[in-house]
């Protein structure tokens, strides 16, 4: 609302014969001035009344640093008086930034006819804000200084004007922010959409002195009125509601604020719906503002006033700011306040519209990608493989044992070494055997001499005894010779030592039959796969697969399943079955106990099943376990 400034009455504009009532009226108007023009007009009038002999005056204000040039805002005694001769002194005072007095000759042939043009710049906080210029009668130099001093003192009141304007400008955003915050607090205090909408329009009607405020949202291509101020319920098929809806459709279609009557210089818009609403309701002042949510118009807010309360630019701007904030909030509340089936239906229809309508290229490409992935998984097939931890074992192992009780003499080989047939793996200590052999040979020679002596004496009994002793000695020598021949333990075939390391046991006793080494052939290996019990049903004899060893991952090995053992092995909390497979080719680098990962090829199946069957099987087992 605008306030009409009071007029100045009952005073002499020339300053003479003014009554006390006129001065009181001027000072009252000066204190109550709300606009810059009224303030400057009353200030200039008071200055001209305090200074005698003033024929005219003008006040120019501006702010060059804010792109506002100096322009006249107040005249005395009236705007119709020609004061162009004061422009020179005002311009020089602004340029030189000091008060000036210029003598102006009225007649070239009469030096006695002249007047003085006086100007004083108005500086606020070191910045040039304006200038006041007066046309005064001739007077002594001292009187001119008194006039300049009066303008200097009076300029302090102009500083009050600028400070008041600064405070008003700084307070306006705060007042505006408080209004917006209060309205938002009213809106979010309601959980349901309808209550929030009614509270919003009622608050706006009270805040902006409106006869009626209505709000509507777009449904099926047109705006549907959802709430009226001071009305919890209303008939949605009445002529008034239909007229409001048509005006709202007009605003939503043009996506612009519509104000009736149209402000001067405003945007040209179609207002037929608003004019019809004005004729029906009698409210000739209307303002409809679109509500925007998620980048599109979702509703319209319409405010109605009587003819004596038009919407100014500040009020319209404040309403637009409020709508920009409440639009997304109300749209979210409206969407959340729907039934679940309605949400599903609206969401599906919205996304279908995105897919078949313009724009939303990213959504279309994403949808096509998802469809392609689904089709790929539905029809793409791959080889189903059973993965198992694997280890290389020799096909056969031959034990190398001690032939007799004795002690280890030498042992040049140990586990992991490759040996050839006939190489000495270890040698037993034969010193005791040689001493024993010498003993029996000596006893044999002694018995041989006694034998010949008894034979010469024809002692048959003694001959018989000595014959037996000689045979025993020969047998012992033969036995010791046999043992001596087996003191050197040789490799029975080419192979690799799997176990055995006697290099740390030289001189240690060994017993007959004790295993000293285990030897495996170089070209006879088998693969032992530990197949999880959940996948053992997919494995059968004759299936093929590939093995990748940790020792050389760049060279996969092909194998064929040969045996499935019916005994499970517990390991790491799970059961595994031992599956034996035969290598189709044996590389030279292969060694027993090498580990790796083997994959048994089962058959061709869908990729989606191959990648998800373990999880599905786990879920089935868990569900079965949970079922009563």
Task: Report pLDDT digits (tens) over 454-478.
Answer: 777 777 888 788 888 888 888 887 8
Judgement on whether residues 242 and 343 belong to the same structural domain of the protein: no
By mean pLDDT, which of 319-328, 366-375, 474-483, 590-599 is the weakest? 474-483
Per-residue confidence (pLDDT) for residue 597, from 0 to 100: 93
Tell me, yes or no, whether 163 and 33 share the same domain. yes
Weakest mean pLDDT among 61-70, 109-118, 374-383, 598-607: 61-70
Residue 14 within a domain = no
What is d(CA 24, CA 46) in angstroms, rounded to the nearest whole number? 11
Q: What is the mean pLDDT of residues 10-14?
A: 39
Q: Scan for tokens 């001067």, then name that residue.
A: 264
Report if residue 7 sits inside a domain: no
pLDDT band at 600 (very low <50, low <70, confident <90, very high): very high
Same domain, 64 and 166: yes
> Which has more confidence, 177 or 528?
528
Both 247 and 308 in one domain: the answer is yes
Report field, pTM of the whole predicted structure over 0.75: no
Give the C-alpha separation, 325 to 337, whole Å. 19
Residue 18: is its pLDDT beyond 50?
Answer: no
Residues 528 and 601 in one domain: yes
Specify whether 580 is located in the same domain as 615: yes
Between 9-23, 94-108, 590-604, the lowest mean confidence (pLDDT) is in 9-23
Give pLDDT, residue 167: 55
The CATH number of the domain holding residue 621 is: 2.40.30.170
What CA–CA distance (Å, rounded) separates 19 from 11?
A: 7
Would you call 159 helix, strand, or coil by DSSP? helix
pLDDT at 12 over 60: no
Please indicate, yes or no, if residue 297 is contained in any of the structural domains. yes
Mean pLDDT, rounded, for 266-278: 84
Query: Structural domain of residue 592, as residue ranges?
Result: 524-626
- 23 vs 9: CA distance, rounded Å: 10
DSSP tag of 38: H
> pLDDT band at residue 452, thresholds of 50, 70 and 90?
confident
Mean pLDDT over 443-457 rounds to 80
pLDDT recorded at residue 66: 62
Are 587 and 528 within one domain?
yes
The answer to whether residue 17 scores a pLDDT higher than 80 is no
Instruction: Among 317, 337, 357, identify where a domain stops.
Output: 337
**Distance from C-alpha of 283 to C-alpha of 559, rounded to nearest angstrom:** 93
**Cβ atoms of 445 and 436 closer than 8 Å:** no
Query: What CATH number is given to the structural domain containing 221?
Result: 3.30.450.40
Q: What integer pLDDT is reported at residue 16 of this predicted model? A: 41
Residue 86 CA to residue 54 CA, distance in Å, equals: 13
Q: In this predicted structure, which of 1-5, 282-286, 583-587 has the lowest mean pLDDT?
A: 1-5
Q: Are residues 343 and 417 in the same domain?
A: no
How many structural domains comprise the chain?
5
Is residue 384 included in any domain, yes or no? no
Are 166 and 24 contained in the same domain? yes
Q: Assess contact for 27 and 46: CB atoms under 8 A.
A: yes
Angstrom distance (rounded) from CA 186 to CA 180: 10
For residue 1, being part of any structural domain is answered with no
Q: How confident is the model at residue 598 (pLDDT cuts 50, 70, 90)?
A: very high
Task: Indicate whether 140 belongs to any domain.
Answer: yes
Q: Rounded to a whole number, what is the distance in angstroms from the first to the last CA of the chain?
A: 77
Instruction: Give, for 492, the enclosing helix (H) or strand (E).
Output: none
Weakest mean pLDDT among 315-319, 380-384, 501-505, 604-608: 501-505
Mean predicted confidence (pLDDT) in 574-583: 89
Instruction: Return the minimum-mean-pLDDT range out of 179-188, 316-325, 450-459, 576-585.
Output: 179-188
pLDDT of residue 1: 34
Domain boundary among 311, 337, 363: 337
Confidence class of residue 164 from pLDDT cuts 50, 70 and 90?
Answer: low
The model's pLDDT over 87-99, given as tens digits with 9 standing for 90+, comes to 888 888 888 888 8
Q: Does residue 483 sit in the same domain as residue 595?
A: no
Asked if the structure places residue 40 within a domain, the reply is yes
**Domain edge (last residue) among 494, 518, 542:** 518
Q: What sign for the dihedral angle of Cα 537, 542, 543, 544?
A: positive
Region 392-404 average pLDDT: 76
Beta strands in 402-451 (DSSP E): 406-410, 418-419, 424-428
Strands across the sheet containing 398-401: 398-401, 515-521, 495-499, 418-419
Span 42-59, pLDDT tens digits: 888 888 888 888 888 888
Whether 289 is in a domain gets the answer: yes
Whether 538 and 417 map to the same domain: the answer is: no
- Asked whether residue 481 falls in the same domain as residue 567, the answer is no
Average pLDDT of the chain to the nearest whole number:
79
Residue 600 to residue 550: CA distance in whole angstroms: 17
């Amino acid at each position: 609302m605008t306030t009409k400034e009071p007029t100045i009455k009952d005073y002499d504009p020339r300053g003479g014969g003014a009554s006390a009532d006129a001065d009181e009226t001027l000072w009252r108007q000066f204190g109550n001035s709300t606009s810059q023009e009224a303030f400057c007009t009353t200030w200039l009038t008071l200055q001209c009344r305090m200074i005698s002999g003033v024929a005219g005056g003008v006040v120019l204000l501006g702010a060059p640093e804010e792109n506002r040039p100096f322009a006249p805002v107040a005249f005395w005694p009236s705007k119709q008086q020609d004061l162009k001769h004061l422009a020179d002194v005002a311009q020089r005072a602004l340029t030189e930034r000091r008060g000036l007095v210029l003598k102006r000759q009225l007649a070239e042939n009469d030096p006695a006819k002249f007047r003085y043009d006086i100007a004083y710049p108005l500086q606020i906080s070191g910045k040039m804000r304006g200038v006041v210029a007066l046309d005064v009668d001739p007077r002594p130099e001292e009187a001119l200084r008194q006039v300049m001093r009066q303008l200097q003192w009076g300029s302090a009141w102009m500083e009050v004007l600028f400070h008041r304007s600064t405070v008003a400008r700084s307070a306006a955003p705060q007042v505006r922010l408080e209004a917006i915050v209060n309205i938002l607090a009213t809106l979010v205090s309601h959980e349901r959409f309808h209550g929030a909408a009614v509270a919003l329009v009622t608050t706006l009607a009270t805040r902006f002195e409106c006869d009626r405020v209505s709000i509507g949202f777009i449904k099926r291509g047109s705006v549907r009125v959802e709430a009226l101020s001071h009305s919890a319920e209303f008939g949605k098929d009445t002529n008034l509601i239909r007229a409001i809806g048509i005006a709202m459709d007009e605003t939503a279609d043009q996506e612009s604020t519509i104000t009736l009557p149209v402000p001067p210089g405003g945007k040209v818009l179609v207002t037929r719906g608003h004019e019809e609403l004005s004729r029906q309701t009698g409210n000739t002042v209307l303002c409809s503002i679109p509500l925007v949510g998620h980048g599109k118009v979702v509703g319209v807010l319409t405010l109605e006033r009587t003819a004596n309360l038009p919407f100014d630019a500040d009020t319209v701007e404040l309403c637009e700011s409020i709508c920009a904030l409440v639009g997304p909030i109300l749209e979210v509340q409206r969407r959340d306040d729907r039934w679940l089936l309605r949400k599903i239906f609206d969401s599906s229809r919205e996304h279908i519209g995105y897919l078949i309508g313009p724009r939303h290229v990213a959504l279309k490409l994403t949808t096509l990608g998802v469809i392609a992935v689904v089709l790929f998984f539905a029809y793409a097939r791959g080889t189903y493989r059973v993965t198992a931890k694997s280890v290389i074992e020799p096909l056969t192992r031959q034990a190398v044992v001690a032939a007799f009780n004795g002690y280890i003499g030498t042992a040049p080989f140990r586990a992991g070494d490759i040996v050839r047939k006939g190489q000495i793996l270890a040698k037993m200590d034969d010193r005791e055997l040689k001493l024993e052999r010498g003993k029996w040979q000596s006893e044999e020679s002694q018995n041989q001499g006694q034998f010949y002596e008894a034979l010469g004496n024809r002692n048959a009994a003694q001959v018989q005894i000595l014959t037996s002793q000689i045979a025993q000695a020969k047998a012992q020598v033969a036995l010791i010779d046999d043992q001596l021949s087996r003191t050197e333990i040789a490799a029975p075939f080419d192979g690799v030592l799997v176990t055995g390391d006697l290099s740390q046991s030289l001189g240690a006793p060994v017993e007959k039959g004790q295993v000293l080494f285990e030897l495996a052939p170089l070209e006879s290996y088998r693969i032992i796969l530990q197949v999880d019990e959940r996948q053992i049903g997919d494995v059968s004899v004759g299936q093929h697969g590939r093995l990748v060893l940790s020792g050389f991952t760049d060279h996969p090995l092909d194998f064929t399943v040969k045996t499935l053992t019916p005994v499970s092995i517990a390991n790491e909390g799970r059961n595994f079955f031992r599956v034996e497979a035969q290598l189709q080719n044996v590389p030279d680098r292969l060694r027993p106990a090498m580990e790796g990962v083997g994959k048994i090829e089962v058959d061709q199946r869908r990729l989606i099943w191959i990648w998800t069957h373990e999880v599905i099987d786990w879920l089935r087992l868990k569900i079965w376990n949970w079922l009563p």
